Structure 1
């Protein structure tokens, strides 16, 4: 039977991430401290159940944590629900009329929809949902789910993303590797990070190496074989380096060779790109710094989504802005890439103010489709790049950046 009005006493609980909290009962405070947040919730709910049983009727409980505040009802038998059903009246069921069917028919056994209520999966809300309290996901969780869906998608046909900035040290290599990691870890295999740099490209230095030392120079003579009908999917493994944890492959340049010894013509690039898009659904290219090189210009011609990588340093940001303005004048395809570009601004110094990163991102808004920011993380500065080593805050920022890129694919 439904209740017509809320019943006292009215209780409120505050839960903290350090597994401490307070329960207020008509102005009196009881403190709790447990080993884990889950045990804290269980202890508080057990105490509220005691109060409801002693009162002989349901009690209202306002629960607050870092994600917000909501109202629950705890019944004397220990069951938990929300307030809305308690205020509703119960109508007598209408009589059911059984009418004869006019023709033989039946419902299909296939594709039966069984809608499930959407429950929180993260944080305190998720923990409460797992113990039976119907908690809806927060707005932050809903946004994260949408972004995970965006980066997990497979497109009809291959896509190419170019990471560009004519200034060295602007974070192109970390941007290439970490975007590749986000797409591969969530969307599955078929992601290639390609070092298209003829002047000391370091993508190979900052990623895992397989049992061979193959580079772009080794794959070029093999393009006809790889494009033949007899080529097998695994044959590409002779020339690329798989990242075991992050699930993408790397096509290295050779940083020990002079640029004059590893020039790649437009025709060479076309052949390499044809091979890459035969074996991979997503190709992410670390562009190098020479915007006049044939391989750089031909990369732009094959690009579906342009990404400007920059730090908050003025010279890096200015170089990225000048590049966008130059592409607007090159041809119609380049102009579209510039208008739809995503700018990823990374905080390169621990001591640099976050406001400066935001200021640079704001400055790119009139020039590009999106501008997003990445916080400082020591794991991005030197050594092998591995997504799992980044802080949770940095991983979340890279997911947000990758989702912005995916919008353009």
Structure 2
């Protein structure tokens, strides 16, 4: 039977906290018989009673003073709470009557009036959870810890759940006691991580494509380089000649073109030698007409931009020779003529024969010293008088003697005699180191030319032959660029032979 919170089947204890009186034995036997007689019908009723939810508990009535057991029995127990699985209360039939022999025990005192506790409420019946959701939903964390939910971006897998998966969260402290690790700080955007170069998106490898081996190509076999020594090509004679003229000469050099015989191309040789050296070196070359008997060098070389000659220079020599550097060059240029191509300068001789007596030895030395200060190569066309002071002075100051001749016997005899004179005058070294320059006045080669080459090869250091050129036959102004190539090459070789002993 249901007796509220406590059950008193055997009458040992009541629901009000005190010992119950033992129930009469006949009552227990009567209840057992009644239960057995109801049968299957009562079982169905009981089964329906179990399924029917119990009504909410009612407040028990206050129990009055004892009146004995006369009259109809009153049900004092409250219906059993079906939520705890108790059996339904037995109904007492109306035919039950108390035997007359029953008397109330005078020792039985009435129970105190029962007053239901106002705070008492029946516990609700727990609802059965489905088997697939045995654990409750985790409670949402406070707003100060909730993270914003970002929808997964297309093309990337959804990240796994954070924290400890789907386990029930009792409290933060209980999880910490069980090895709980706090959630990492909220992840930054992939784009922000990319900006710092840390994010690497996951790459899901797909099926590996079939590997196709490329055809094996053998690399070409490279033979080791072989170093072969080859002798440098020999320098041509013209290249060697031009190289000699470009070198430093160790100071200014004076070349004297001499032969007592007239008409042996002294003036022509002086002009062409200056033009050849000037065309290679570019500057610093001068041709001087030192013929006391009205020389023609000023007419055949240079431009007649003025009529000044050696006479005008000597007249102002005292004022010019005290100058230095650029000022000296500027003032000396007023007394010089220039070649049409600017390759060399010309100091023309005086046309008056009376001027010859003014070219004494002292004056010639002063003029040579002045020209050495302004030019590297000075080519001097000497006169025909070997006894004149200016002729002897030039021979004594010359660094290189050039003996000019033509393939004629008289011209060769005069050149040979001059060499003997130089030996007699104590200038034998100058004669031995001289250059014999044979100019061909006509085309072709004569037998006498071979004899002259062999003869002067024994008297001088070298013999140079320059070919015939029609541009020189007229006796007019000499233009170097108008000469034939063969003529220019011949003069290039001859000029290099003249300056070779001084080239460094």
- Indicate whether the TM-score tops 0.5: yes
Give me the whole-angstrom Cα distance separating, in 1, the residues matched to 2:243 and 2:253.
17
Report if aligned partners of 1:310, 1:320 keep a CA contact under 8 Å in 2: yes
How far has the Cα of 1:335 moved from its partner?
1.1
Task: Tell me what 2:76 maps to.
Answer: none
Shift of the 92–237 alpha-carbon distance from structure 1 to 2, 3 Å rule, reads: closer
Q: Say if 2:241 and 2:493, in contact at 8 Å, map to a contact too.
A: yes
Question: 1:311 aligned to 2:406?
Answer: yes
Residue 402 of structure 1 pairs with residue 498 of structure 2 = no
Query: Structure 1 CA distance, aligned partners of 2:358 and 2:460?
Result: 31
Q: 2:296 aligns with which of 196, 202, 208?
A: 202
The match for 1:364 among 447, 451, 456 is 456
Q: Is the 8 A contact 1:347 1:354 kept in 2?
A: no
Shift of 1:263: 3.6
Task: Name which one, 1 or 2, has greater alpha-carbon Rg.
Answer: 2
Cα contact 1:354–1:375 (8 A) shared by 2: no
TM-score normalised by the chain length of structure 2:
0.52
C-alpha RMSD of matched pairs (Å): 2.2
TM superposition shift of 1:154: 2.8
Q: 1:261 to 1:156 in 2, by over 3 A?
A: closer
Matched, 1:237 2:333: yes
- One of 221, 228, 231 as aligned partner of 2:315: 221
**Structure 2 partner of 1:392:** 485
Normalized against structure 1, the TM-score is what?
0.64
- In structure 1, the partner of 2:209 is none
Note the alpha carbon deviations across 1:43-95, whole angstroms, 9 max, x for none.
Answer: xxxxxxxxxxxxxxxxxxxxxxxxxxxxxxxxxxxxxxxxxxxxxx94599xx
Looking at secondary structure, tell me which structure has more strand per residue.
1
- Is residue 253–residue 377 contact of structure 2 (8 Å, CA) maintained in 1? yes
How far off its partner does 1:232 sit? 2.9
Look up the match of 2:348: 252
CA distance in 2 between counterparts of 1:197 and 1:185 reads 25
Contact 2:303 2:340 in 1 (8 A): no
2:436 maps to what in 1?
Answer: 343
Name the counterpart of 1:329.
Answer: 424
Q: Please, which runs of 5 or more residues in structure 1 have no aligned partner?
A: 1-88, 94-116, 119-135
Aligned residues: 275
- Which residue in the other structure is 2:104 paired with? none
Displacement of 1:358 in angstroms is 3.1
- Structure 2: state its 5+ residue gaps: 1-221
Task: State the 1:355 CA deviation.
Answer: 4.0
CA positional deviation for 1:293: 0.4
Which residue does 1:162 correspond to in 2? 256
Report SS of the residue matched to 1:285: strand
1:373 to 457, 460, 465: 465
